[in-house]
Structure 1
Amino acid sequence: MAGRLLPWTTAGGRPCYLVGDGTGYVSRLADDIEAVQLDMAEDLLGHAGALLAERRVTSAELRYLALRLTESLRDVTRIAESRGARLAEDKGRYREGD
């Protein structure tokens, strides 16, 4: 059983992993946080589109947007990596059962 990459990091920025069957409290919490992160990414994309459509945008506004987009992309990338690893693990389990 491989560990699940969680949608948060340690205080030092290192990845956090959970070993388990995916049915416990921490797994459900991770699922909820991933859902919030994906919703926030979608909202941020909408805000980015609106801001970039404006003719007058300050460099401070663009910098703030770039920082938030970077954070969001990092979160979404971590979610994709975690889910991809779990899909690969599931495929391996199904192949063993054939």
Structure 2
Amino acid sequence: MRLLPWTTPDGGPCYLSTDDPGSVVSRLADDIEEAQLDSGRGVLAGSEAVLADAAAGDRAVRFALTRAAESLRDALRVADSRGARIDQRPKPMP
């Protein structure tokens, strides 16, 4: 079962049951994961800029932290999903 990079309407995890990494849903999930990681890179750069700005106000810092938390949640979900798939790969014969 592959953990997908989106949740149910009530916030629960979504899983895909397939052995085909090239299926339409698998490719969609790969694309969304990559978009989430790209977004996280941008959020990191923006957050670092806010933190480096001594004049940044509370609203800017709170906004940056909120976006950083969202991006971290996405990145951890991607890591969990990819890690689980690595663990499921067949082990090579000795």
Partner of 1:94: 91
Residue type of the alignment partner of 1:26? V
Map residues 1-98 of structure 1 onto 2, 5 A cutoff. 3-21=1-19, 22-90=21-89, 93-95=90-92, 98=93
Distance in 2 (alpha carbons) for counterparts of 1:37 and 1:28: 14
Runs of 5+ consecutive residues of structure 1 not aligned to the other structure: none
Alignment deviations for residues 20-59 of structure 1 (CA, whole Å, 9 cap, x no partner): 0222100000000000000010111111111111111111
**Identical aligned residues as a percent:** 47
CA apart distance, 1:14: 0.3
Residue type of the alignment partner of 1:94? K
- TM-score normalised by the chain length of structure 1: 0.90
Residue type of the alignment partner of 2:66? L
Runs of 4+ aligned structure 1 residues displaced above 3 Å come to none
- TM-score normalised by the chain length of structure 2: 0.93
Size of the alignment, in residue pairs? 92
Query: More helix per residue: 1 or 2?
Result: 1
Runs of 5+ consecutive residues of structure 2 not aligned to the other structure: none
What RMSD over aligned residues (CA atoms) do the two structures have, in Å? 0.9
